[in-house]
Structure formats: C-alpha cells, structure tokens
Structure 1
Amino acid sequence: MIGKSYFVLSLLQVGLTQVWKGDTPRELTAQEGSCVQIPCHYTYPSHLQTHSRGGVWFNEERGRSLIAFHSKDHRHEMPRFRHRTRLPGNLKDGDCSLIITNIGQEDAGPYYFRIEFDNGPSYSYHPVTRLRVSAEPSQEWRVDTPREVTAQEGSCVQIPCQYSYPSCLGNQTRVGIWFNKKQSSSLIASHSKDHNREIPQFRNRTRLSGDLKDGDCSLIINDITQRDAGPYYFRVEFDNKNNYNSQPVTQLRVSDFTDKPMIFPVEIIAGKHVNIICTFDTTCNGTAPVLTWDTPTDKPGSVSNTVTQHGVTLTYTSVLTLIPSLKHHGHNLTCRVRYPSVTSERILVLTVQYAPRNLRITYLHTINPSSINIIEGSSAVIKCSVESFPASSLTWRHLNVTVNRTRSNNELWLVIFNVTSWHIGGYQCVAENEHGAVEGSITVERQVSNQWKVGLLGGGILLCAGLGGLLILKCVRKGSSTGREHTAQAECVSSYSPGEQTDRSLKRGNGKQEIKQNHQIYEYQYPSFEDWEVAGTLSHQKKKEGKVLEMESNHSLSPDPEDSLYANCDFCQDAIYGNI
C-alpha cells in the first residue's frame, strides 16, 4: 500500500515539474567484510530550498522496500542495517550518498533514495542502484609489514607497519592491536585503546609509533629480551564491525647487543679547543640511548647532545669540547652508549699534535755537549733526535750549508769521515713540523794525532841521519887524498910563524864554531896536526893499508874530545862546509 502511494505521488510530481532529478550509479560491487559508498546527488524545486527535509534509503527485498537508513529517526531502520549505515554528506548541499559498513552477502540487492520535505512534497529517485557483494577481500584492505626483523637484546625494536582501508571508513573510529603468537594462542602485545588487555610480559614496553588515522601501525617494543622472539601480526578494528588481520606474520629474532657508537677523529693540537663527535644510529623510536664520555683530561669538558632523523634512522649525537695537553698523547678517550640493561663503547686513542721539543744531540753517549774533540783523520757519528707529532723534518747544517736532511722522522745521523780542518766549526740541527721548530748546535774541534807527532819526530831523525851520512862520506873521500896533499898541507902550516899559526888556528876555530851554531850541528873537536903527519906517513908506506887505517881511524869514536868528524877536513881554505 505504501509503495503504491509513493509511486502515484512520484508520477504526479514528474508531471508537475522537471526539476526533480537524482544521479546514482546503476550498479556497484563491494567486497564482503568491507564497506561501500553509493554515490548520490539530487535536485529539487527551488521554492523548497528553505524547507527542512529528511533522507531515506530503501533496500528492496522480495518486493518489499526495507528502510536501510533514515536521517531523522534511526529507529525506522531495519535491525541488520542499524549502526551500519550513514550519510557522509549534507542533504542541503544535494549530497545523498550512502555508506554501508561491514558488508555481508545479505546486503546485496537494489537500493534507491527518497527525499521528504516537512509540510511539503516527497520524491523517490529512480532508477535504482544494484549492489553486488563479492566474496573476495577488498583490494583497499592492505597491511605492509616485513617478513623478518632482528633486534638486539636490551635495546628497542620497531616493526614497520603501514595499512590501508576502504575510503568509506575514513571517519570511523578504529583500534589497532598487535598479537604475539605463542603456539596455538595469540597474546595481545599492544592495544591502542586499552593497555590493560596487554599481557604482563609486554605491558608498559609496547606502543604504536604513529597515528592509525594516517595508516601507520608500526609497533615499538622497548628493552628487548629473548622471550620476545616470535611471530607478530596486526589487526585493525572499525567499530567492532569492519576488521582486518595482517598476513603474513612478522618473525622477530633477538640477538646479542653488538652495536657501538662511532667517534669521528679530528685534528687534536695541544693547548687548543677541540670538538670531538660521537654518534649512535638506531631505527627504533623507543627508549632513547644515552651517550656519555670518559676523558683522560683533568677537566671533563663540556658536552652537548642532539637527535636528528633521516628517513627511519634516528641519529643520537654527542659533542665533547675539551682542551687536550701534551700529556694526553696516547691516552684513551671513550664514548659509551647505554640502554637500561646493556651498554657498549668505542675507544679513541688520542694523537695530540705538538711542535718539536726536547731536541737532543748525542755523541758517544754524551747528550747535548757544547763541543767535541775529534782526532784528525778519524771519523765521527753525531745523532740528533727530537720529540714531536707529527714527525719533524730534521736538517744538519755546517757553515749555513745543508749537509744532511730527512723528512717525517724524529732523528737524523751526521757522519763525518776522515776529519780534517775543513770539518771543524759549528753544526746546527734544525727540527720543524707544521706546529713549530726547534734548533740545537754543537762545535766540532780537531785534535792532532800522537801518531803524527811520532811520525814527524821519526822523519826528523831520519833526515838528520841522512845528512850526517853524507857529511861522513864527504870527509872519508877527503881522507883518502891526504897522502897526496900532505906536503901542501905541511907547507901551508909551515908558511906561518908560530904566532900566526895560533891566530890562524883561532880564526878557523871561531869560524867553524860560528858555522856550526848557525846550522845547529853537534860535533866532536877536530884532531892535532901530529895526527895528520902520522896518517900521511902511513899512507906513503902502504897506500892500501893506510886507506884502511885511515877509514878505521875516521870511523872510530875516541873519548878524546879533540877527535872529530872534521879531522880529515881542510880548514886551510876556510871552506869546512863548502862541500856539504
């Protein structure tokens, strides 16, 4: 009866006006368990614009029109549609779209819309929209989670999760639940609305990292233990009617805590401020790690901490500012990361750079002598060493001339071979790196060798012996001719009076003494004239024997001071050294 009345009224209205019009699709398919929106727009006579109105959707079933939705009184709705249907738009704007949630097979069938104005006409829009229900899940339902995640014991873990749902559920409240499957049961690890439903093992340790309305269903578990290992899956519930479980599950594995912070090395110079950076990366936005420092300095230095995010990676950064000194070179600087139950650390050995210092010049185990004596002709090895970092370039200089050089080495040897007068004087060792320079010096002095002294003395003796031998040979040759010249010598002697002979003898003696003093020759006194006469007589009697006797007499040393090397020399002509 009611259906016939609506039909008659519709015919009358169509005949009276052409402004009643509705736009709905002829057919629509929805997936079982999801929701569906039937698009709908309508027009009506303008004189009804200020009238209040109501919208009604009907589902035709077996020739009957059942109310699926009533905008003014939900009590008119069929029980199976109650709390499952609504209008997403505003009827005053001409939007009559219908949303049906938690679609079931019984919801399939034709639907149409009717507008009712208070104290005015009503109008049903045709043709109807036929709703088909598919048993396959809606492609709008989707959950993306990894198949496997590994966490380190004591730290936190984040299981990434993104989900999508039918657009018709966009304004619906929802609940996110994570389950941990243990054998045949599923235990609630996280519940977004009621944490009391979580099992004690996970309570106060789990939470969702994002907003379910944004499609973020990621799970965070803090203070991971070995018991937390196992499969996990996510479930979303819309008003307890539209539900969806993620498949396949995510397998959580738990390993030992091995992650370490990272220290970035920088140039460290003694006495200057330096900023040393330590970082620790994690993909878990759960319990934050704490970075601390252990410093070898007397003062701990100042520390600043920051957190930055790049994609899914969180970087915790700690900057240590301190003033290192030379004594900290080679000491350990430690950056430590700490979770509630685990910790790890990274150690940096400080390499403090400094200018050259403590330059030492070493010679024969003597350190930094001002001067050294080196025996002429021998060799010397002198070492120059210095303390610095980085290693210094060392240079040996002599008379402003570089004699040896090395780079990036804190010691340099100077070797002097066969020392002569050219090698004496001052030597400088210069050490320098990019932070400074230092210089040391040493003086090399020459010492005359005792062997040279002995050699010179021996050479002098040999020279004197050679001169003496020449002199003796000359005198021997003079003695061999004494017999032939004896008469002339006698005449020479007898040609003077006794007084003149004495004066002449004295003159010869003084002259001879003066000559000997000028030549520094030590000699014996010459013999008397009687010896000359005897030697002459023996020479005439036996020339051969006389020559032998004369040579023996000339080469024998008599204790008589008058026996002299000059006994056979002719002083008559005042030329005693004339033939030497």
Structure 2
Amino acid sequence: MSSSLQTLMARNKISCLIFISSVLVLTHSADNFSAEMPQTVTALTGSCVQIPCAFNISNFEDKRKRANSVHRIWLKNISQYANQNSFIAFNSSKNIINGFSDIQMTGDLSKMNCTTIFYNIMKNHSDRYYFRLEMEPNVFRATFNPSTDSSQKTVRIHVTDSPQPLELKPSGLQYVMEGTTVNLSCSAEAPCPRQPPTISWSNIPESADISTQLQEKPDKTQSVVSYVTFKASYKDHRKNITCAATYPRNTPDVSTVKSTVTLKVLFPPKETYFTLTSVGNNVTLTCKSKASPSTDLNYTWYKFGVEMPIAWGKKLHLTESQHQTGSYYCIAQNKYGKQSSEEARRTAERQSGRSRQVIYGCTGGLLVFVLLSAVFFYRRRTKVLKQANVIGSDQAEDKMMDIYANNATVLGMNDKKKETGDLHYGEIDFSKLQRGHKTREHLNTGLETEYSELQVTERTRQIKGAQQTDIIYAQVQKK
C-alpha cells in the first residue's frame, strides 16, 4: 500500500472520531437536567408535609411544545423506574396514589416547579423520595438525582410523633436594662403550611406588641415566626417568658411544644421603705428595697434636719428616747441609682390619712343613724302617749255626759219650766254619737256643743192613762 493511501485513510479516521465526539457532546448537552429540594423534611404524624421542589431541563420550552403529554412521578426508596422492586407513590398519568390518603402536585409545571404535598403522614412513610418527569412521546424521560454520589440531594421524609423544638431568640438568661426595648422572636417549623402551628406567648406585659407571619427558609421550607416587643420594667425582673406552638393534626390530641427565656432586668432601688420593731425600750428600724443587682445594694441612715449620715447598714438600732425625739429615714443605693424611704413614708402617711377619713366618715354616718333612730322612737312614743290621753279624755267625756243627762232640765207639754228634785232614769243610746278622730279634733279646737238624741222612758208620769215616750234634747258642753 502506498504511503499516500495510508495518509488518506488516517485522515478519514480522525475526521470520523471528531464527528462522533461532537455528536456525543451535543447529545449530553441536550439532556442536561437537575432538581433542587431540601435534603430532609421532618413531618408530624397525622399532619401533612410539603416538599418544595424545582427542576431545570435544558431547552424545556422546546421539549414541552414537542411533547403531547407530561407525566409527573414520585418514587419511594428506589430511583429506578423500571425496577421491579420500585414503589410508585404517585403517577399523574394514571392518577395512581399508593400508600397515602392523598398526594397533590401544587407546583406550576410550566415554571418548572414540582412542589408536592403528601397528606396524612404516618410513621411508615419515612423514606427517601425521587422525582421523575416523562414527556411523551419519547421527548424526555429522567429521574432527578438518581446516582449514588448525588443521592443526598434528593429529599428524605422523616416522620415523628412530636414537633421539632422551637427556636427562641434570645434564649436562656437575658440581661436587659430597665427602660430599654426587649425584642423576642419565636420560630416554629411549618412542614404543612396549609395547617400551620399557632404560636402563643405567656407572662409578657399587657403593653407588648405581637406580630406573627409565615416565612420561607433558604431551603424553601416554611416556618411560623412570632415577634414580641416591649419596654423592660423592673416588674419584669426574673420573669419566665414562654413561647408555645400548637400543631393541629388528624389525631385525637394536638401537639404543643414550648420554649422559655428568663429576663434579668437591671434597675436602681425601687419601693424603698423601712419597718419598725421594738424590744423593751429599744427600737430597730429595718430598711428594705428592690434592686438589680442586689448584691451591691447598700443602705445609709439619716435623721431629718441633719445633713450627715448617722449610720450605715440595713438596720438602725435606737433607744426609746432617740426614737421619740427624732425622725429617721434610709437611702438604698446600687450602681444604677438610689432611692430614699422618705417618699415611701409620705405615701404611707397619705394612705393613713385617707384611712382616717374613711373611719371618720363611717363613724359620723353611724352617729347620724343612731340620732335618727332615737328621734323616730321618741316621736313614736309621743304619739302613743297622745293616743292614750285621747282615750282617757273620751272616757272622762262619757262620764260628764252621764252627769249632764241625769241633771237635765225636763220640758213639759205646756212649755213651762218645771224644776224637779226627783231623780229620773232614762235609757241613753250613744250609738249615733261619732267619736274617734272627730272627737279629738273637737278637743283640739276648744269648746264645742253637740246635740245627741236621748230616749228617756218616764216611769213615774202617766199622760192620759198611758205610758208615753218623750223625746227631749240634752245640751252637752264639753271642755
């Protein structure tokens, strides 16, 4: 074979190799694809779990236009679709759902979003899951992240019976200065955004501002975050502020997880006052105050009218004569400030003054009640006595009328006065004489003259041989 022929054959061989390499490069470039999803998602039994998923395929729009149908598939445990041991949890082409009550693809496929929600998660659902896409007829078929080296890029669902711990910031023991703004945040995982946990706070001031929102994390999973803001007060010192997250789920009981932060508020002395105790002729004054820190709290005693301190320490011992001849007060101090017990004592005096006013008012009211009661019983007794006098007067009046009736002047039929020394007895009917209130009025108005009709039966006189009944009138004068 001539050298020229060998040279030509070598050139053709090289050209063929270059062509084949070019085709292989173009084919690999055409099938370039990848998917992004969290490495692990923790789900709560009885709830749902959302798998954030996004994929990328070269020339996706061109492939989608050429495809007659696009099928989305989720494989469990094994990434090989054709493997006889593969478990197909979801296949949109045949509407297949295996091992789950429901699976929904919520992502927009046109935007290469493969986000999926698995409902009613149980413990046996814990496993690794692979996403597969098929564009038919024979446009694109691939399972994302199937290789052993990149298997950690696919998602693993981890199912637990208890929620994940909360993330409370700041946590533990927190030092804050009185009057400064306290900012607390509490974050709870939301593996099922359609059933997010509810966050609540306890032992926070009434003036605290609370805001809660659903946030997306860098790996596309979501969480519920609640923020609390308030001004620190010395009354918040040593408070245990608790954040609690409650998860709803399809079980008889809900799940709640809590986290606590303890505040240590730094402040100068507050509510400074002193107490007094006496033993025999000696008196001891004890100064008390609230402060933080309290380890460096010191006390100084003063006497009113004297500029220089008279003693140091929490207690002041006085003799009886010293206590009776002077007034004293204490000052509590730490590195953040000081406070005198004088103000607290004046407050106590004002409170005792108000107490005295209340006592005086109650005593005065009681005296008025007693006086009114005495006047009432006095008037009632006077009224009873008057009624008794009226009854006595009425009885006396009856007796006087009997006297006047028995000494009455008898008028004859010829209208001539005839004095008689004989005693005449007659029947007197008092049923028509009205007494009571009218009689008392007559007694009050002075002398009155009333006429009563008296029936007298004459027993000694006989006119024309027959018993006659005369009607006479007796004039009764009452005094």
Q: Using structure 2 for the length normalisation, give the TM-score.
A: 0.45
Work out which structure has the larger RCO, using CA pairs closer than 8 Å and 6 or more positions apart in sequence: 2
